[in-house]
Chain A
Amino acid sequence: MIKNKLTCFAASLLALTSVSFLAGCAESYDVKLTICNWEDYIYLGGKEDGVKVKGIVERFQDYYAETHDGKKVKVNYQTFSTNEELYAQLKDMNADLICPSDYMIQKLANEDKLIPFSYDDANDKYSASLKNWDENGSPFIRNRFKNEKLKNGKSFLQYAVPYFWGTMGFVYDSEYFEEEDLSSWECLWNTESKFQSQFKLKDSVRDTYLTGIFHVYKDEIDALDKTAADYNEKLSEIFNRCDDYTIDAVGKALKETKKSGGTVRGFEVDEGKSEIISSKAYHANLAWSGDAVYSMDCGDEVGKTLNYIIPEEGSNVWFDGWCMPKGANQELAEEFVNFICRSDNAALCMGEVGYTSPIVGDEMWEFVNELYAADDEVENKDEVDLSFYFGKEAKILIDHEERGRQFDAQFPTEEELARCCIMKDFGAQQTKVDLMWQDIK
């Protein structure tokens, strides 16, 4: 009998907990949207003067209710920290929207894991459901990525709507290094004692590989005609080389930087952006433009002036874009992308994240002016023309002292961007690249 009672008790306890658990889950909603984004990569709300400000996700929920007769959407917002992690977990996530980087988008699209957006290749236009992108997308970014073709001959934009973009360069302590010191990637192979153990590179083969490419093919790159129309195309071809000879040569070149007396003291992917702010022992860090903005902002707070430079041979221009994995709720996903492409929302996210949004509407231009335009008292001002990027008359006055800093990291010049290339997936050479990378470390 006692046993029976116990069993009864246990069973009822179990039943109770499961009921309450189910009840907890059964929050009422009509549709559900699962988003998987990078960490710290969206405006999630905050407090302004003690008043809670809604984040993008909540704003979207409100917007959806307004436009769909009070229907409720539940947004399940998840994060990931590397493209590779996203790739590995894609199946289990059941996400409707993901935000991988260019080379991963390429890989996923080539492996037929993505649903295409309704994009009209010939006219470079999405359907009405993405009209905010068509209205606000920067013409420069559109041109750049429209021409980037996938294996099946379709455009990049078919599978991804750009969300943020940026470049890669050096963040450096302007008291230790002069701009000329780091104006070429060759500084990594400089044997002067000033350069010894002064750099940290990325602990990610995709990013550090390019520094080797610019060294190995330096002569060929210098011989290119920079004014030619197909300059970027030719540079991209060199930039994306990954034949056996290149992999070997890049591996050797990188190994040289790392040996004792070399310029590279270590690799990092996350701690470098804060380390460079306080570091006394080394003074330059290979950084993505958004991280560079973060480092420079923090440096300003503690009185250390950091600068950002894209070396003259060229660099990488990358973007992260919204993609729909197979099985996604297409209509709802497009609605969210359209919402976040609204100029005011994009400005909110850009202010939070530090990378550059490809959205250029009026609100964005206002935001940029508010952030960077020099005060009237400043005497030495540079006029910078961003018309090519904003697709309309867009001139801004920048304090001369602030050049080569946050503003230039977020908005590189047209000429700088002409020498930045888009990375391609290593494809079948990936294993060889991985082995080369292990050999370096």
Chain B
Amino acid sequence: MEAVVRKQRRFNFRGSLCIPYFVFMALFVVFPLAIIVYYAFTDELGFFSLANWATVFTTRKNWEVIGQTVIISAISTIICLLIAYPIAMLLSNKKFNKNKVLVYIFLLPMWINFVIRTIGLKALINGLTFALFKFELTDKYPLVAIVLGMVYDYLPFAILPLYNQMLKMDKNQIEAAADLGANPFRVFYKVIIPMTVPGIVSACMMTFMPTMSSYVIANKMSENKTSIIGNLVAYWFADSTSDLRFNIGSVISLVMLMIIGISLVLEKTLGNKEETQKKGGIW
């Protein structure tokens, strides 16, 4: 009898280990989200209202900022990928990177606070462009500067998943393809890329999502004169004294959440498709 009770108790105890996790999720994820939704659909007096949505969507600037943000994030992601891919290939090459020292060198910048790195980058490129062309990049081409800042800050996040994926790559398949007469370009295109798709997808997610909300980088690299969605949210919550500040801010955060959600789904389906293609290719 006692044994049974004990067993049951132990079972419960294990289950109860999850409680802190659920409490945490409820308190810090579900509850805040519920508050945001509440604010988004009420007016300053707490009555149901869609006026905030109307305000947000009828303001042309918001559309411009959303478009600008998506473009900046997309370009930064693509550039990150183009730079990170060859670097990851080199790093995963055992001959080239014997003690993994090189990997650490590429990840080292992540140990430094990104705001400090961004300020440093800004000083560097402004100094360079001023010495060469008599203008400062952040002043004259703020959008270029923002993309530069994003790429600089999020490059390690693109390298790491690609590098991990390439370590897992089956080298025999590459050799086999070459043996069977595929030229290097064909090997790369038909064998290496399909095998690293999961890495590419997670590298994209790791750069695209944070670049959408990294408004501090946008602030520093454009001297506060160009906004991305993150700026809009931050402005309404932190700087505004309007009675509607939480309401409008919440709507914009929900819009941002939706865009990130859509991009997640897109990347997931894209990744899956490639994977099934790859499987078909192997068989």
Which residues of A line the B interface, CB within 8 A?
82-85, 87-88, 104, 107, 197, 200, 203-205, 258, 260, 264-268, 280-282, 428, 430-431, 433-435, 437-439, 441
Closest to B126 in A: A281
The verdict on B188 contacting chain A, using a C-beta distance below 8 Å, is no
Are A280 and B223 CB-contacts (below 8 A) given A430-B240, A438-B61, A441-B231?
Answer: no
The verdict on B239 contacting chain A, using a C-beta distance below 8 Å, is yes
Specify which chain A residues have a CB less than 8 angstroms from the CB of B136 in the assembled complex. Answer: 265, 281
Are A84 and B61 CB-contacts (below 8 A) given A260-B140, A434-B235?
Answer: no
In the complex, are the beta carbons of B139 and A435 less than 8 A apart?
no
In the complex, are the beta carbons of B244 and A267 less than 8 A apart?
no
Binary A-proximity of B149-189 (CB < 8 A = 1, otherwise 0) = 00000000000000000000000000000000000000000
Closest to B236 in A: A434
Specify which chain A residues have a CB less than 8 angstroms from the CB of B236 in the assembled complex. Answer: 434
Are A267 and B130 CB-contacts (below 8 A) given A281-B139, A435-B59, A438-B235?
Answer: no
In the complex, are the beta carbons of A430 and B242 less than 8 A apart?
yes
In the complex, besides A281-B130, A281-B135, 12 extra interface pairs with C-beta distance below 8 angstroms are A82-B239, A84-B241, A87-B241, A260-B140, A265-B225, A267-B223, A267-B224, A268-B223, A281-B126, A281-B139, A430-B242, A434-B245
Specify which chain A residues have a CB less than 8 angstroms from the CB of B65 in the assembled complex. Answer: 438
The verdict on B232 contacting chain A, using a C-beta distance below 8 Å, is yes
In the complex, are the beta carbons of B223 and A265 less than 8 A apart?
yes
Closest to A107 in B: B241
Specify which chain A residues have a CB less than 8 angstroms from the CB of B227 in the assembled complex. Answer: 438, 441
Complex CA gap A107/B242 in Å reads 11
CB distance from A287 to the nearest CB of B (A): 15
Closest to A103 in B: B241
Binary A-proximity of B124-139 (CB < 8 A = 1, otherwise 0) = 0010001000011011
The verdict on B243 contacting chain A, using a C-beta distance below 8 Å, is yes
Specify which chain B residues have a CB less than 8 angstroms from the CB of A428 in the assembled complex. Answer: 243
Contact of B242 among A88, A200, A267, A431 (CB under 8 A): A431
Closest to B138 in A: A266
- Which residues of B from 36 to 65 have beta carbons under 8 Å from A? 55, 59, 61-62, 65
Specify which chain A residues have a CB less than 8 angstroms from the CB of B138 in the assembled complex. Answer: 266
Closest to A197 in B: B139
Are A435 and B243 CB-contacts (below 8 A) given A84-B238, A85-B238, A265-B139?
Answer: no
In the complex, are the beta carbons of B224 and A430 less than 8 A apart?
no
CB distance from B248 to the nearest CB of A (A): 7
Specify which chain A residues have a CB less than 8 angstroms from the CB of B232 in the assembled complex. Answer: 438
Contact of B239 among A84, A197, A266, A280 (CB under 8 A): A84
CB distance from A109 to the nearest CB of B (A): 14
The verdict on B214 contacting chain A, using a C-beta distance below 8 Å, is no
CB distance from A114 to the nearest CB of B (A): 16
CB distance from A35 to the nearest CB of B (A): 22
Specify which chain B residues have a CB less than 8 angstroms from the CB of A439 in the assembled complex. Answer: 59, 61
In the complex, are the beta carbons of A203 and B243 less than 8 A apart?
no
Specify which chain A residues have a CB less than 8 angstroms from the CB of B77 in the assembled complex. Answer: none
Most B CB contacts (10 A, CB to CB) among A83, A428, A430 go to: A430
Complex CA gap A438/B62 in Å reads 9
Contact of A434 among B62, B224, B225, B242 (CB under 8 A): B242
The verdict on B207 contacting chain A, using a C-beta distance below 8 Å, is no
Are A266 and B139 CB-contacts (below 8 A) given A84-B238, A85-B238, A438-B227?
Answer: yes
Question: Chain B: interface secondary structure?
Answer: helix
CB distance from B120 to the nearest CB of A (A): 14
Contact of B55 among A204, A205, A430, A435 (CB under 8 A): A435
- Which residues of B from 213 to 251 have beta carbons under 8 Å from A? 222-227, 231-232, 235-236, 238-245, 248
CB distance from A196 to the nearest CB of B (A): 10
Closest to A268 in B: B224
Specify which chain B residues have a CB less than 8 angstroms from the CB of A88 in the assembled complex. Answer: 238
Closest to B119 in A: A271
23 interchain pairs (CB within 8 A)? A84-B240, A84-B241, A200-B223, A265-B136, A268-B223, A280-B130, A281-B126, A428-B243, A431-B240, A431-B243, A434-B236, A434-B240, A435-B55, A435-B59, A435-B61, A438-B61, A438-B62, A438-B65, A438-B232, A438-B235, A439-B59, A441-B224, A441-B225
Closest to B232 in A: A438
In the complex, are the beta carbons of B235 and A266 less than 8 A apart?
no
Complex CA gap A90/B222 in Å reads 32
CB distance from A207 to the nearest CB of B (A): 12
Specify which chain B residues have a CB less than 8 angstroms from the CB of A280 in the assembled complex. Answer: 130
Closest to A282 in B: B139
Specify which chain A residues have a CB less than 8 angstroms from the CB of B244 in the assembled complex. Answer: 431
In the complex, are the beta carbons of B126 and A266 less than 8 A apart?
no
- Which residues of B from 81 to 103 have beta carbons under 8 Å from A? none
Closest to B238 in A: A84
Complex CA gap A266/B241 in Å reads 23
In the complex, are the beta carbons of A266 and B223 less than 8 A apart?
yes
Complex CA gap A266/B137 in Å reads 12
Closest to A202 in B: B224
Closest to A438 in B: B61
Closest to A85 in B: B238
Most A CB contacts (10 A, CB to CB) among B231, B236, B239 go to: B239
CB distance from B162 to the nearest CB of A (A): 35
Closest to A206 in B: B241
Closest to A430 in B: B242
CB distance from A141 to the nearest CB of B (A): 25
Complex CA gap A282/B62 in Å reads 30
Closest to A104 in B: B241
